[in-house]
Structure 1
Amino acid sequence: MSYKSERAKIDFILEMIENIERIEDRHGGVVSALEDFEGKMAILMGLAQIGETLKKLDDTFIEKAELAREKEGAYFTRNYIVHDYEGIDLYIVEDILVNHLPVLKHKLAAFQSGADN
């Protein structure tokens, strides 16, 4: 595992999370962002990118950072969005944004700051 390569992936995921947060802020919240066509499309693309990139992280890192559940869930979400199985349920997306994305952000940021020391 190349530390530099893994670090770049983590940075990218954190950037995608911050982009999603900015979109939510611009629209005055998660629900408003998902109700807006461009907001919804941008958020879905960000979530797909997060899922794809998490899947590419080395398993050793995933174990150290205790991200196995997040990796599996994010990749499932990526497939759900990309393949649009039976239409995308925005209530599920809202739940991901409110309850799961902050946990992922916290875990990645905590691991990243610990790796810097």
Structure 2
Amino acid sequence: MLEPRLQSYLDTIQECLSLIQHRLSGIHSAEDLIRNDAGMLIMDGIAIRLQLIGETVKKLDHHYPGFFASKGIDPKPIIRFRDFVAHHYDEVDYELLYDICINHLPALREKLDALLS
């Protein structure tokens, strides 16, 4: 059984990953994120959830140093992306967001699912 704070951090990340996956269900390309207001609303929501994942990873890594590394997860790129979104939101690229969601989040989710099962 995990410590309550650690469990809470992991639950927050899992919830964000689930919400991102759900929001992407109608998105079939990066361009769908900028095609209309609905796509842009989805993109904004995903960016905020990615920022929350990064913030949570940052807190978890501070309170439990080495936890992610011991699970085969490098927290640094996640934290750096959080910092980028937080401080340069106007420069966030829709293609980068889509790439992260399609090519990187599934592996993170798989590792967290294995950890929590």
The TM-score, its normalising length taken from structure 2, stands at 0.82
Aligned partner of 2:51 in structure 1 is 48
Instruction: Name the amino acid aligned to 1:78.
Output: R
C-alpha contact 2:27 2:33 (8 A) present in aligned 1: no
CA distance in 2, matches of 1:16, 1:30: 20
Contact 1:33 1:40 in 2 (8 A): no
TM-superposed deviation, 1:30: 5.2
**How far did residue 98 of structure 1 move?**
0.9
Checking the alignment, whether the CA contact within 8 Å between 1:13 and 1:53 is kept in structure 2 is: yes
Instruction: String of CA shifts for 1:16-37, please: whole Å, max 9, x gaps.
Output: 0000011111x34353652212
Identity %: 28
How has the CA–CA distance of structure 1 residues 14 and 24 changed in structure 2, closer, same or farther, with 3 Å as cutoff? same
What's the Cα RMSD here? 1.9
Tell whether the 8 Å contact from 1:48 to 1:78 is kept in structure 2 after alignment. Answer: yes
Structure 1 residue 31 corresponds to structure 2 residue 9: no
77-86 vs 42-51, which deviates more? 77-86
1:98 aligns with 2:102: yes
Q: Residue 65 of structure 1 contacts residue 107 of structure 1 at CA under 8 Å; is this kept in 2?
A: yes
One-letter amino acid of the counterpart of residue 95, structure 2 = Y
**Structure 1 letter corresponding to 2:6:** E
C-alpha change, 1:30 and 1:72, in structure 2 (3 Å) is: farther
Structure 1: 5+ residue stretches without partners: none
Q: Distance in 2 between matches of 1:85 and 1:44?
A: 9
Task: Read off the aligned partner of 1:51 and give its amino acid letter.
Answer: G
Structure 2 residue 46 is matched with structure 1 residue 63: no
Aligned partners of 1:87 and 1:59: how far apart in 2? Answer: 30
Cα distance in 2, alignment partners of residues 91 and 64 from structure 1: 30
Aligned length: 109
Cα distance per residue 1:60-81 (max 9 Å; x no partner): 42233222x2x11111111111
